[in-house]
Amino acid sequence: MENILITGGAGFIGSHVLRLFVNTYPDSNIINLDNLTYAGNLLNLTDIENKSNYRFVKADIVDGDQVFSLFEQYGIDTVVHLAAESHVDRSIVNPMAFVHTNVLGTVNLLNAARHFWAGTGKTHRFYHISTDEVYGSLGEEGLFTEETPYDPRSPY
């Protein structure tokens, strides 16, 4: 059985992704890791909260020990990383919250994946989906690819 960790699953986009995974992959364990900050709302998930393949964990990806513990407890095979600080207005008021969540939190997830997946011989996947606050603006033309570098910025 596959164990899929989805971060930020109580947010607007995350709840739609989470619902899709829970309903599409009934033979997989779907673990929703969300810190329930201003953007997270468990009411977004009432239709799946009692599904047998769904688990909710309230935790912060900035806490590396919690992240490692989740990988160990659930045997995470796949990460769909959606958790991020993404409101530009908030980045002006408190830029360190963005650094902690978007950089340190992502590094904690990557470190846990590297630690638990190294040498297993299994195929693992790590998807990082985010906003222009993390990836930057594309411009008038072009496409983002796997090789596109991070280019965090605020238009203000």
Question: Does 133 qualify as catalytic in the annotation?
Answer: yes
- Could you say which of 25, 63, 132, 135 is catalytic? 132
Q: Give the whole-angstrom CA distance, residue 16 versus residue 81.
A: 14
Question: Does 150 qualify as catalytic in the annotation?
Answer: no
Residue 43 near residue 75, CB atoms below 8 Å: no
3-state secondary structure of 58: strand
Question: Does 127 qualify as catalytic in the annotation?
Answer: no
- CA-based angle 145:28:62, to the nearest 5? 60
- Could you say which of 74, 133, 140, 146 is catalytic? 133
Active site residues: 132-133, 156
